Every structure is written in structure tokens, then in C-alpha cells.
Structure 1
């Protein structure tokens, strides 16, 4: 059986095949309205990104665009059956990229939609970054709030995104294990020997707040409980900041 013949990619792509900036500007205007004009000085046409993804990826591959711009790469990747991650620090992430990608999900017929038979479907999650947990040296940022550190620990321990608001020392229960954070006076006592330290009285107070009979992972400033007492209570204690590492 003869193998399929491969085609060497051209190094010259004429605009008749992959489009040009005026085409991209027109696409952005049709999708996002007049507000897109002037924000994106060099938008890329969907046909150009289609050619690049055809050469570099296969359906189901993950495409990363760390400077999302007007969202063209994500839009084309979605229409071509690729998974994608887009990162953008500008306000237009909300004002332009988000509505554009929502229109892609709804089945908009601009750009390459007709040529790839795009009719809509799929979905995506839109996340915003919270307060920084770590400083430039990888240590815990001195100004980090309870919620931000709690969200990081929850994701670090479980691999799950933090979708809830953390306002209790109990971060949640995952696969039978409860995760607890004693930090920043969450129990209303900021004294060194108070709520940030796992003592017998603090443990008793935690037991009154929520009942859990399985294993627990507790993060805190330090613990006054010995190894035997921790084992008896099914507790793995992690000390802040030493047992929290930046990935």
C-alpha cells in the first residue's frame, strides 16, 4: 500500500488565499461593530490563522494564544475543532474577545465559518486573575488575602478550579478529604496564639463549625498538637509559609 504524498508548505502565502489586514478589519467590524476600529491596529484575517493551524495542529490539539488581541486565533481554533486557551490583560478581553467568542458559539457566519461548515456549538470558560499569591521570589505575597490564598490551596490540593467564594476556614471536601485554612484571622483572632495556630481549643472550635469524620488537611501558622494527636484526629498539618510552594 502506497503512503500518502505529503505537501511541503509554501513559504509565500498570497493574500488571495489567506487574506490581508483590510479583510481582518472588516471581519472585526462586522463582529464587534465600530468600537473595534482603532483598538486593533494589525488584526489578522481568519483565513491566515486557518492556514497556520492546518499546518501546525490537528483536531483536538490545544492552541495557546498568550496575547489574545481581538480573539481571532481562539475563534478560528474553535471553528476548526481545536481546544484553546487565550490570555489577555487588556480591558478588551471583556469588551471584545468575550462577545466575539460568544458569537462563535452561537454560530456566527463570518470569516472561515462557511468554508469549514461551522454551525456553532461548544463552549468556554472565562476566568479573571485574582490577587497575586506569591511575590517575585516565590514567597507568599505579604498582602495576600484569605480568599486568594484559599483559592490557590484548593486548586493546588485538588486540581479543581476555585469556583466558590472562600469565607470560612473549611475550603471544601474533595474525594473524602476536608481542606482547612487557618490564615489572616479567619476565626476572628489575629493573636499569634489565636486562630492561625492549630491548638486543642481551635480544633474543638473547628469541630463545632463543621463535622467531618474523614481525613483533614489543615494549613496554619503552626500547631501545638503532637504527632500522635494529629494522627488520632486524621489530620495532616501543613505549615504556612513553608509548605506552600509556587508551581
Structure 2
């Protein structure tokens, strides 16, 4: 929207607060914020300009409504545990990640259920159900607010 917020909208709000002509102002103050990079590009894919940390924060919030990630040095993909569900975001900006037995071998956290984001999954559906694993494909299964 270019400078619209700064030049037009902000000026209108200032006039309401301070008054104009014969009309008294309402008083008060306001602030506005500039947004960062869009999480998704025009095609609906993850924007490569957005940091992995920002994507992780977004996922954690959309899944749990929580704001604090539970980072783990021995489990780099782990987002945290919420209501006995462990969340993992298996993402490499420059490589495809696949949910397979090797990747499952890196998971140390014990939980009743697992939600794992990755680019692909080669595990059989019956195995996923047996182990209470929900696979979510990147980026289509990321909730858009």
C-alpha cells in the first residue's frame, strides 16, 4: 500500500485526535507497525526470504496458540510439546526432508502423539497410525491465518 498508512491514514487519525476546523479532538495517541516479509509467496509456497525461526514460531503459534518454543539442542527439528503432543518441523531451506525411519530415529521426546512437518513421507499409513504420528506436508498443510 506504499505510503498510504503514513500519509493518508495517519493524518486522518491525527485530525480526529487533535481536532480540525470547529470540531474538538478526541485526544489520545496511536502507533502503527510495518510488517515483515510475507510468510507465503504468490504461489502459496514458503517465502525463501523468511527465516526458519520465523516459520517455526508461526507453526508453533498456529498449532498451540503458544508463543514460546521449546528448543532442544539434541532435537533440532523439535518445536515443543503441548497437551502431550510433540511437534516437529523437519525443514531445510535448500534440501528436501523426508519422514522416514532414519528421521524418526532422531526423535527423543516421548509423547502420546506426534505431529511432524516434512516435505515427503515414505512411511506406511498403518505404521503412522500405530505410532500416533500425523504427517503434514510442507507447505500446503501450514495453516494460514
- So what's the TM-score if we normalise by structure 2? 0.70
Q: Rg: which structure is higher?
A: 1
CA distance change for structure 1 residues 138 and 49 in 2, over 3 Å: closer, same or farther?
farther
CA distance change for structure 1 residues 226 and 171 in 2, over 3 Å: closer, same or farther?
same
Distance in 2, matches of 1:226 and 1:175, equals 26
Shift of 1:179: 0.8
Runs of 4+ displaced beyond 6 Å: none
CA distance change for structure 1 residues 45 and 165 in 2, over 3 Å: closer, same or farther?
farther
Over aligned residue pairs, what C-alpha RMSD do you find?
3.0
Residue in 1 aligned with 2:32? 87
Q: Contact conserved, 2:86 with 2:111, CA < 8 A, in 1?
A: no
Larger relative contact order, structure 1 or 2 (CA cutoff 8 Å, min sep 6): 2
Shift of 1:246: 2.4
* Structure 1 gap ranges (5+): 1-39, 51-70, 74-85, 90-128
Q: Contact conserved, 2:70 with 2:79, CA < 8 A, in 1?
A: no
Normalized per residue, the structure richer in strand is 2
Residue in 2 aligned with 1:68? none
Residue in 2 aligned with 1:27? none
Give matches, 1:189-228, under 5 Å: 192=96, 196-206=97-107, 210-228=108-126
Which residue among 62, 67, 72 is the counterpart of 2:29? 72
Give the SS at the match of 2:57. helix
* Structure 2 gap ranges (5+): 1-9
Normalized per residue, the structure richer in helix is 1
CA distance change for structure 1 residues 243 and 232 in 2, over 3 Å: closer, same or farther?
same
Residue in 2 aligned with 1:135? 41
Give the SS at the match of 1:205. coil
CA distance change for structure 1 residues 133 and 166 in 2, over 3 Å: closer, same or farther?
farther
- So what's the TM-score if we normalise by structure 1? 0.43
- CA deviations 1:112-169 (Å, max 9, x no partner) are xxxxxxxxxxxxxxxxx554311245432133332111111111111223x4486731
